[in-house]
Chain A
Amino acid sequence: MIVEIGHYALVLALFVSILQGTMPLIGASRGQVRWMALAAPASWAQLFTVSVAFAALTVAYLGSDFSVLNVIKNSHTTKPMLYKISGVWGNHEGSMLLWVLILAVFGSAVSLFGRNLPEGLKARVLSVQGLIAVGFLLFILLTSNPFERVFPPPADGESLNPLLQDPGLAFHPPFLYLGYVGFSMAFSFAIAALLEGRVDPSWARWVRPWTLAAWSFLTVGIVLGSWWAYYELGWGGWWFWDPVENASFMPWLAGTALLHSAIVAEKRDTLKAWTIFLAIVAFSLSLLGTFLVRSGVLTSVHAFATDPERGVFILVLLIIAIGGSFALFAWRGPSIKTGGMFKPVSREGALLLNNLLMTTATAVVLLGTLYPLFIDALDLGKVSVGAPFFNAAFIPIMIPLVLAMAVGPFLSWKRSGLMTPLMKLKFVFIASLAAAAMTFSMKQDASILASFGIFMAVWLGAGTLWEFSSRIKLFAAPFGESMKRMGKMPRSMWGMTLTHFGLAIAIVGMIGAEAWKVESIQVMKPGEMVTVSGWDYTFEGAREVAGPNYVALRGSFTVRRSGEKETFVTLYPEKRVYTVTQRPTTEAGIHTTWLGDLYAVIGDPSKDNSGAFVTRLYFNPLVAWMWFGATIMVIGGLVSLTDRRHRVGVPKPSAAPAPAAKK
């Protein structure tokens, strides 16, 4: 019964969203207030109906209702509670339902927080949201119904893919979707603005918090995925430039560009058409990402079995959404007037440089990801574009970006000199050089490239801190005044400082993990010892242990510092076999220190019953810095989101000295 209610609610949601997608839009173009006023209640109704559907599916999972096909395919009575819940979105149908739920949440958030939005803009934004919902609800109802029943129900389910039974991956999809769908807000605002033919700073002020929220969520999602790949796949790597990874990375890059151009649009009333363009691009790439992952057109290490019919549906949806919005942009975009002027060397110029490089990088990733598809479509053979391509084409674009990141915040709006900020950064430059030289001399195997990477990280990190301290006049003014200035600093500035600094930390981690990783593969008998990067790993043998729904072969490695007797840590890598699916998974044994991760994986036992195993041991330097830096970046995004300006709301364009404007 509950399942039928869920299905029914989903159909209702479709009708509500058709209503939401059309009536307010028509009302706004005709100036009919009543029709426009329909938008807000419709968004609430949509949230309610989709929530009921989602709750119904969750109930089916929690109660292991095996009359539902989706539950049979992805659940089992012995599965731990956490994965019964995450199983709801750990499959295609459920994850699409989550997509729509998040869309509904964002839509009703506009109704809730958007009380002081101009009535026409609000109606149009909610309408565009409604239209997106129509597309996805149709997709779910027609091709991926999660409420399909089966008769007679089997005694038990087939359980969830064991790779997904992991805390990191349980929350990876929701965050990713919060990011993807979050960009739909910027998109809806962009489309609404194009329809209205008016873009002013208050518009940009509205777009910024949504973009910021989406960006923060997407960052969390990507990092969770990367972290999961690092500890679960047992390859010691954290980013593979795999199509599915790229699918989430492209909206992130475009979203980062959007975040920065929206600042210019808000503060200086310029780059508006460009900001709108980026908003469309960011969401289009989110849709493309969904398409790439869900259609299975690309060979990917992360690919799951897929259904071509769905791929075609999403492709059509993609063409309508992206084609339509770009056509609208081409039609209405040129009429957007530019405001404030600026010189190339200025804060605007620096943000524009960020935009150019970010979009170029996005284009490079897009090209590399889709290239195999083009070649295949032209029948020129089958090719794959892997990490070497991306490393060669992407990283050179990031170098000027990171170098400019330290300088940009020193520049003033409108016009600025380059010499003054560069002179201010001379100590930072010396420090970075020193750090690079130290790296080069300390690490015997340090390449010039890795040392240059450290130079960039220190340049960015120290430059960001230097900018922060000069902003609060640390050491230049009495300490008390500095503290006062710090207290008065807007949250958005805090946000910038934190995120830029976080990136510097993350870069250190990436360089460590890429440049100085030590790997050793061998056969080890119990009691045997192998030294990896100054750590002695002694294999103590393996034994069987039982988990809640799996049996594991658990190896144990005693790790000591080379030459020392004292045990530093014991690692327990596992090879699990899940009872229901009979599928094996690898669980790496990892111990994290600030200098690097001790990482052990156990492979197949040797056939001669000697108790020997193939083992793979790693020392992954500075990996923790990567996760730590990314966490700081997300905190920066959230801090910026709490900026007072966003809460006070938007000043009316006509009312000149609005309360929020003084700062």
Chain B
Amino acid sequence: MKRKHRRLSIVLLALLALGGAVALVMAAFEENIVFFFSPTEIAEKQITAEQRLRVGGLVEEGSIGKAEDGVTVTFVVTDTVNTVPVAFKGILPDLFREGQGVVIEGHMINGVFKADNVLAKHDENYMPPEVAEALKKSGAWKHAQEDLENQK
């Protein structure tokens, strides 16, 4: 086999790997990308139950409660303009508190957000960029910043 041929076969193999990877990535992107919405966007947009999404905002003060089964936690996520009621079955992350920023992932079913993932933070002073964004949009950012300062 000549050097040229060897090069060619390597290049072909590389292209094959790349093409395969691109196909895989495209297919995976199609199904597995999760869009992020603020509570206001949820209120404005038509969202189907199949659509998986992330919602960010603050946990409303005094909104945390338990459903009758004793395991499902209910709370309300707000960007201070609109709110989304949330139900989550499981143990909440350690740093989950009322008045704090939170990102939840799941589906909107009959007006209630069924979360299967509540993002925990390692650090109390940390505000997820999406939450900050959602709060900035609704003009509540300064308020949230003060909240964070108070927790320090």
Q: In whole Å, how far is B72's beta carbon from the nearest beta carbon of chain A?
A: 9
Distance of A34 Cα from B121 Cα, bound (Å): 53
**Which of B37, B66, B126 has its CB near the most chain A CB atoms (within 10 A)?**
B126
Provided the pairs A161-B123, A364-B21 are in contact, do residues A583 and B94 lie with their beta carbons within 8 angstroms?
A: yes
For B133, the chain A residues whose CB sits under 8 A away are 382
For B29, the chain A residues whose CB sits under 8 A away are 371, 385, 389
Distance of A426 Cα from B90 Cα, bound (Å): 48
Q: Using a CB-CB cutoff of 8 Å, which residues 66-98 of chain B contact chain A?
A: 66, 69-71, 89-92, 94-95
Provided the pairs A382-B130, A606-B70 are in contact, do residues A301 and B36 lie with their beta carbons within 8 angstroms?
A: no
Distance of A385 Cα from B71 Cα, bound (Å): 28
Contact between A304 and B126, CB atoms less than 8 A apart:
yes
Contact between A297 and B129, CB atoms less than 8 A apart:
yes
Contact between B6 and A343, CB atoms less than 8 A apart:
yes
Distance of A353 Cα from B20 Cα, bound (Å): 14
Cβ-based interface call for A383 (8 A): yes
Provided the pairs A344-B9, A364-B21, A521-B91 are in contact, do residues A389 and B33 lie with their beta carbons within 8 angstroms?
A: yes
Cβ-based interface call for B125 (8 A): yes
Contact between B31 and A388, CB atoms less than 8 A apart:
yes
Distance of A585 Cα from B34 Cα, bound (Å): 28
Contact between B70 and A392, CB atoms less than 8 A apart:
no
Distance of A383 Cα from B105 Cα, bound (Å): 11
Contact between A367 and B35, CB atoms less than 8 A apart:
no
Contact between B13 and A344, CB atoms less than 8 A apart:
yes
Distance of A603 Cα from B20 Cα, bound (Å): 45
User: Nearest residue in B to A387 (C-beta to C-beta)?
Assistant: B32
For A297, the chain B residues whose CB sits under 8 A away are 129
Q: Using a CB-CB cutoff of 8 Å, which residues 609-647 of chain A contact chain B?
A: 612, 614, 616
Contact between B21 and A393, CB atoms less than 8 A apart:
yes
For B91, the chain A residues whose CB sits under 8 A away are 234, 521, 586, 601, 603-604, 614, 616
Cβ-based interface call for A485 (8 A): no
Distance of A284 Cα from B34 Cα, bound (Å): 28
Cβ 8 A contact of A614, one of B9, B14, B25, B71 = B71
Interface residue total, chain B, C-beta cutoff 8 A: 48
Contact between A523 and B70, CB atoms less than 8 A apart:
yes
Provided the pairs A389-B32, A523-B71 are in contact, do residues A342 and B120 lie with their beta carbons within 8 angstroms?
A: no
User: Nearest residue in A to B6 (C-beta to C-beta)?
Assistant: A341
Cβ-based interface call for B18 (8 A): yes
Distance of A413 Cα from B69 Cα, bound (Å): 65
Distance of A304 Cα from B123 Cα, bound (Å): 5
Q: Using a CB-CB cutoff of 8 Å, which residues 565-618 of chain A contact chain B?
A: 581, 583-586, 601, 603-604, 606-607, 612, 614, 616
User: Nearest residue in A to B15 (C-beta to C-beta)?
Assistant: A356
Cβ-based interface call for B61 (8 A): no
Q: In whole Å, how far is A385's beta carbon from the nearest beta carbon of chain B?
A: 6
Contact between B25 and A393, CB atoms less than 8 A apart:
yes
Proximity bits, A357-372, B CB within 8 Å = 1, else 0? 1001001100110010
For B92, the chain A residues whose CB sits under 8 A away are 603-604
Cβ-based interface call for A303 (8 A): yes
Cβ-based interface call for A116 (8 A): no
Contact between B36 and A386, CB atoms less than 8 A apart:
no
Contact between B90 and A521, CB atoms less than 8 A apart:
yes
For A603, the chain B residues whose CB sits under 8 A away are 91-92
User: Nearest residue in A to B95 (C-beta to C-beta)?
Assistant: A583
Cβ-based interface call for B124 (8 A): yes
Contact between A299 and B103, CB atoms less than 8 A apart:
yes
Q: In whole Å, how far is B134's beta carbon from the nearest beta carbon of chain A?
A: 9
Q: In whole Å, how far is B98's beta carbon from the nearest beta carbon of chain A?
A: 14
Distance of A344 Cα from B94 Cα, bound (Å): 54
Distance of A384 Cα from B37 Cα, bound (Å): 11
Cβ 8 A contact of B120, one of A301, A397, A581, A614 = A301
User: Nearest residue in B to A601 (C-beta to C-beta)?
Assistant: B91
Contact between A360 and B17, CB atoms less than 8 A apart:
yes
Q: Using a CB-CB cutoff of 8 Å, which residues 13-51 of chain B contact chain A?
A: 13-14, 17-18, 20-21, 24-25, 27-29, 31-37
**Which of B14, B94, B125, B128 has its CB near the most chain A CB atoms (within 10 A)?**
B94
Contact between B13 and A392, CB atoms less than 8 A apart:
no
Contact between A388 and B13, CB atoms less than 8 A apart:
no
For A584, the chain B residues whose CB sits under 8 A away are 94-95
Cβ-based interface call for A233 (8 A): yes
For B94, the chain A residues whose CB sits under 8 A away are 583-586
Contact between B17 and A356, CB atoms less than 8 A apart:
yes
Contact between A616 and B35, CB atoms less than 8 A apart:
no
Contact between B119 and A299, CB atoms less than 8 A apart:
yes
Distance of A512 Cα from B66 Cα, bound (Å): 33
Contact between B120 and A233, CB atoms less than 8 A apart:
yes
Proximity bits, B117-152, A CB within 8 Å = 1, else 0? 001111111101110010000000000000000000
For A381, the chain B residues whose CB sits under 8 A away are 35-36
Contact between B123 and A392, CB atoms less than 8 A apart:
no
Provided the pairs A389-B29, A397-B24 are in contact, do residues A384 and B90 lie with their beta carbons within 8 angstroms?
A: no
Cβ-based interface call for A396 (8 A): yes
For A360, the chain B residues whose CB sits under 8 A away are 17-18, 20-21
Provided the pairs A305-B123, A616-B90 are in contact, do residues A363 and B21 lie with their beta carbons within 8 angstroms?
A: yes
Contact between A383 and B36, CB atoms less than 8 A apart:
yes
Cβ 8 A contact of B34, one of A298, A383, A393, A521 = A383
Cβ 8 A contact of B24, one of A164, A396, A523, A583 = A396
Distance of A455 Cα from B103 Cα, bound (Å): 39
Contact between B25 and A364, CB atoms less than 8 A apart:
yes
User: Nearest residue in A to B1 (C-beta to C-beta)?
Assistant: A343
Distance of A341 Cα from B5 Cα, bound (Å): 11
For A396, the chain B residues whose CB sits under 8 A away are 20, 24
Distance of A389 Cα from B26 Cα, bound (Å): 10
User: Nearest residue in A to B2 (C-beta to C-beta)?
Assistant: A341
Contact between A614 and B129, CB atoms less than 8 A apart:
no
Distance of A592 Cα from B105 Cα, bound (Å): 31
For A299, the chain B residues whose CB sits under 8 A away are 103, 119, 128-130
For A383, the chain B residues whose CB sits under 8 A away are 33-36
Q: In whole Å, how far is A242's beta carbon from the nearest beta carbon of chain B?
A: 10
Q: Using a CB-CB cutoff of 8 Å, which residues 233-260 of chain A contact chain B?
A: 233-234
Cβ-based interface call for B112 (8 A): no
Provided the pairs A360-B17, A392-B24, A521-B91 are in contact, do residues A303 and B34 lie with their beta carbons within 8 angstroms?
A: no
User: Nearest 4 A-B pairs (CB), nearest first?
Assistant: A382-B36, A392-B28, A603-B91, A305-B125
> Can you list 12 A-B contacts with CB-CB less than 8 angstroms, sorted by A residue number?
A299-B130, A303-B128, A360-B18, A364-B25, A368-B25, A371-B33, A383-B35, A386-B105, A388-B31, A392-B27, A584-B95, A604-B91
Extra inter-chain contacts (10) besides given A301-B121, A302-B122, A304-B126, CB under 8 Å = A296-B129, A301-B120, A304-B122, A344-B6, A382-B37, A383-B35, A384-B33, A385-B29, A393-B28, A397-B20
Binding site for B on A (CB under 8 A): 161, 163-164, 233-234, 296-299, 301-306, 338, 341-344, 352-353, 356-357, 360, 363-364, 367-368, 371, 381-386, 388-390, 392-393, 396-397, 521-523, 581, 583-586, 601, 603-604, 606-607, 612, 614, 616
